[in-house]
Amino acid sequence: MPVYPKSKGKWRVRIYIGGKPKDEIFEGTKKEARNYEAAKRLEVAASDPEMLRRVVPTFSVFCLNEYKEFCAKHIKPSWWRKLKYVLVDLIEHFGTYRLDRIPQTTVATYTDARKKDIAATSVNNELRVLSRVLNVARDEFHYPASKLKLTKLRVSGKGKAIAWNDEEMARLFNATAELDVELLPILTFIANTGCRSGEALALEWSQVDLESGHIRFWPSDYWQPKNNQAREVPIGEALLPWLQAPHHHPRWVFPSRRGGRYAYWLKMRWEAVRKRAGLSGGVHQLRHTYASHFLRTKPDLVLLAEVLGHSDVAVTKLYQHMLPDHLARARNVVNFVAPVGPAAVEAHRRQRSERKATKKVQRKTVPRTVPTTVENAVSIERDNGFEPSTFSLGMQDRPWPRTHLESNSTT
């Protein structure tokens, strides 16, 4: 179903229905005309599943239709709100290409263009979204989508979580009490459970069991954990009074000032107290801080993974550098002793440096014996019967006469 130019701003879109061509006039840009043609093609092929597999839409049409419907069924709305901004950038670059005709070179072009505007981590996230879209098109909708080789950018300074110490946590709580005391309950909850901010905002009283001393986090319409698994977190002594306080809402543990549930994290209020405390980082830093203080008291990565809700202990190893005496057991396990020590090596280096300095001084004091004129070089050649090639190298402006060389060769 090709697209032909009709006039300025108008395009003739040819659609085949039942094997017969039908032309339609579309007003807009060529890109919009192609998207319209692809949408019509899918509409015609919708009645025939086998034909639908053969009709391959463009990247933009697939994202705006099938992939959007797929995300509505399989991912939470909060993640879609973030994902759609990434898709806008991807559609701008890959939108006109058919799913099965995306060139490999466009990936490198896209990466080079994006890394000038955003960080390497953000570029890698966008490449992951691109790979996810193509996988869904291939696995769920059976389109012959292109298999691209996506090379991620190198990210420096990644791999260790940074936590706040006791003094910094005290400053944070003091600043919150002075500036926004109503924020203290949820901050105290996150700091003493290590939960995510989204889990705290979606927490219901039915999940709090004061008798057993546990809080149960499970998937709901308002929050879906990354591993989609329920977990329990113990209630500590510092957190218990906050949960025994009077309830301000029959359902939500941390309701908004208007009486409902917070849809987003209180970013502006958080930034205000964080700046007052003189700290840097987001609210997720409280989760890292919980892990740090947990391992300092209870050095057990497996138990920490269960409390934090990590599906794999490998994720929890992000905090292993916070263990007391980290890697201490590996010390002195292997010891190979060299025949000499560092002092002998240093003495050898000093002697070598001294010999080098002495030779340098000697070269400066000894007079040169190399002839500096052509006449001297000729006399040496005549007396010894050979031509010293080293003498002639530095005399490009005074080449040896050919007649002179021939006369010596005959003698």
Active site residues: 196, 226, 284, 287, 310, 319
**Residue 233 has which token pair?**
């977190």
Instruction: Pick the closest to residue 100 from 59, 140, 133, 66 (CA basis).
Output: 59
Compute the 3-state secondary structure of the chain and give helix, strand, coil in percent, each to the nearest 5. Answer: 55, 10, 40
* 3-class secondary-structure state, position 20: strand
Who contacts 31 (Cβ-Cβ below 8 Å, separation ≥6)?
95, 96
Q: In what order do the strands lie in the sheet with 214-217?
A: 208-209, 214-217, 231-234
Q: In what order do the strands lie in the sheet with 10-17?
A: 3-7, 10-17, 20-27
Rounded-to-integer distance, Cα 298 and Cα 304, Å: 9
Q: Can you list the positions of beta strands (E) in 18-142?
A: 20-27
**Three-state secondary structure readout of 244-277:** HCCCCCCCECCCCCCCCCCCCCCHHHHHHHHHHH
Maximal C-alpha separation, the chain? 121
**Three-state secondary structure readout of 379-398:** HHHHHHCCCCHHHHHCCCCC
Q: Can you list the positions of beta strands (E) in 20-132?
A: 20-27
Q: Is there a contact between 321 and 162 (Cβ–Cβ < 8 Å)? A: no
Rounded-to-integer distance, Cα 295 and Cα 318, Å: 12
Between the two ends of the chain, the Cα-to-Cα distance in Å is 92
Q: Is there a contact between 58 and 38 (Cβ–Cβ < 8 Å)? A: yes
Torsion of CA 174, 180, 186, 192, to 10 degrees: 0
In the block, residue with structure tokens 């039915």: 206
Instruction: Pick the closest to residue 3 from 61, 19, 24 (CA basis).
Output: 24
